[in-house]
Amino acid sequence: MNAFLRVSVRSIDRFNRLVGIVSMYLVFLMVAILVYSSVSKAFRFPANWTLESAQFTMAAYYMLGGAWAMQMRAHVRMDLFYGQWSRRRRAGVDVLTSVCVIGFLGFLLYGGFSSTAYAIQYGEKSYSSWAPYMAPIKIIMTTGVALMLLQAVSFLLKDIAAMRGESIA
């Protein structure tokens, strides 16, 4: 593989690792919001923003952390034959899988852009009593899909190199 592809793959991996590590701490923010919600309800002063804020924080957590989870191979896999195959054969199967994942994420990204543009253009709000604007969480979710798409491209390039007997990482 040429030097540009090596630098690109390493940059994608490094960036997704950084975003994943930062987003990992969103769980603590979500817990703090839920604790505040419980305490405020105990003192008969419930806040109407806590449930949706916790949901948005959780959505940001798993969408921004998705690319890092892909990178760490933390997703569940079913292995009947895969572990017994040679590295090149696994890479060939992974190339096919990566192409399918890239196609799927491409459609998600297209839908995310469309939904985010709508939310921004029309000032879309949630239908709850708090009624927050939806654009910020849609931007975060679309960014998460874009990062997963970049990580899938990184995997594709690594697997193509492995099929050729080379290594990028």
pLDDT at 137: 97
119-136 residues labelled b (16+ CB within 10 A) or e (exposed): beeeeeeeeeeeeeebbe
Q: 138 exposed, middle or buried (CB, 10 Å; 0-12, 13-18, 19+)?
A: buried
Between these two residues, 167 and 40, which has the higher pLDDT value? 40
List the chain domain ranges: 3-163
| pLDDT tens figures, 103-136 | 999 999 999 999 999 999 999 999 998 999 999 9
How far is Cα 63 from Cα 141, in angstroms, rounded to an integer? 6
Global pTM exceeds 0.85: yes
Express each pLDDT in 68-88 by its tens digit: 999 998 877 778 888 899 988
